[in-house]
């Protein structure tokens, strides 16, 4: 199944929209377009993009903290929570980032 974009653009006949520039011999084309958005598909696409961004953010955090400590110190759990070996607590990912930054003195 191929991906269908939730946005499509329709162009009117360009020949109707060509005008001459007043003091130059340059022709300009003014294209009028309509942008159609499938709201449900756009929301699905944005949610997918957000999940990909969050996964990349987590991957980088895990890489940096593992390199810093020499082993994995934060473990992702269900519901977006993170377990910290440092404080031995379960917390939100933002709190884990803050904990790590405090540890390295940032």
Model pLDDT for residues 47-92, shown as the tens digit of each residue: 999 889 888 888 888 888 888 888 888 998 888 799 999 899 999 8
Pair of tokens at residue 42: 């756009």
Residue 31 pLDDT class (50, 70, 90 cuts) = very low
């Amino acid at each position: 199944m191929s991906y269908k974009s939730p946005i499509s653009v329709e162009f009117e006949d360009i020949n109707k929209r060509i005008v001459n520039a007043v003091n130059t011999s340059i022709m300009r084309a003014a294209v009028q377009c309509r942008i159609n958005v499938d709201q449900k598909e756009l929301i699905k696409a944005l949610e997918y993009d957000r999940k990909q961004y969050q996964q990349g953010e987590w991957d980088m955090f895990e890489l940096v903290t593992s390199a810093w400590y020499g082993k994995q110190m934060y473990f992702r759990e269900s519901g977006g929570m993170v377990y910290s070996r440092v404080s031995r607590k379960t917390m939100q990912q933002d709190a884990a980032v803050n904990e790590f930054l405090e540890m390295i003195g940032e």
